[in-house]
Amino acid sequence: MALNYLKDETGLLKTDEKTGHPLVFDDEKDPEKKNPFPLDGISLYGKIPALNEEAKSHRLKAKEFETKLEAYKDLDPVKAREAIESLKNLKAGDLTKAEDVEKLKKEIMTAYEAKMSDVQKAYETKVSELTTELSQKDQRIYDLAISDRFARSKYFSGGEKSLSTLTPSMAKSYLGSYFKVEDGKVVGYVNGNRIMSRGNPVELADFEEALDIIITNHPEKDFILRAFPGGSGAHGSDGTPGGKSITRTQFNAMDDVAKQVYLKSVNYRSDAIKD
């Protein structure tokens, strides 16, 4: 299942009239977008700690089974069943002969080993099922957390006013690999290292700040960012002719974040803002 946000003709997200939550649809089961439904991203994100705790519980149970059954991994179920049937048919008088007693011991041991073999196989099947289930839950946790953050980001959630031309789903496909979900938190990574906050370097950057840093340093940031209006005689971001520039009025109309993004996109050139 791949959820996508339902949008109007202008590119803005459609919302449910009763709840105000954004409408989504399953592009595999409902490609015609006939049955959209509201998605409460905040509520779903709040379930992540519980899912993590459940996943942890499954891992501990699997480890416990593995430890208990390690001693019985080489068992023969066929011989075990034969020994069990022999034990059922024994009479009290048969135990009087020493050879019968010894044979009985061997059959009991074989039966026990066979039983443990069945348990081992059942355990391995259960571990495989739990591993698959944990993998699926981890993927759902990631999708819920990451998709919601991209959908609410200033870069992708404002339709034609967004700072990027990418839709939330396109942005997740293009930039989602830079983020991981760790202990219920979305953490940004660059070159294998966690992205720390610029304002407080001892703390992790939140999603929006991490996204700022990723886009600013991305080799294809001009593709990601929406183009600003150009001006005559403007210079490129590397100082060459033909680049982008805006008027002072246009610059002053931006919010603080948009101003910072624009200045970074032109490498803080002095001629990028025309008076």
pLDDT tens, residue by residue, 200-253: 888 999 999 999 999 988 888 888 888 755 433 333 333 333 356 777 877 777
Pair (81, 126) in one structural domain: yes
Per residue in 154-174, pLDDT tens? 888 877 778 888 888 888 888
**Where are the alpha helices (H) located in 8-97, listed in sequence order?**
41-46, 48-69, 77-89
Pair (220, 246) in one structural domain: yes
Average pLDDT over residues 170-188: 88
∠ CA 32-33-37 to the nearest 5 degrees? 155
Tally of residues, the chain:
275
Residue 181 lies in a domain: yes
CA–chain centroid gap for 240, Å, is 41
Pair (246, 178) in one structural domain: yes
Does residue 258 carry a pLDDT above 50? yes
Pair (244, 205) in one structural domain: yes
Q: For residue 9, give its domain range.
A: 1-39
- Domain end position, chosen among 110, 144, 178: 144
Give the alpha-carbon dihedral of 116, 86, 82, 125, to 10 degrees.
-30
Pair (206, 266) in one structural domain: yes
CB 112 within 8 A of CB 82: no
Question: The tokens of 271 are what?
Answer: 């001629």
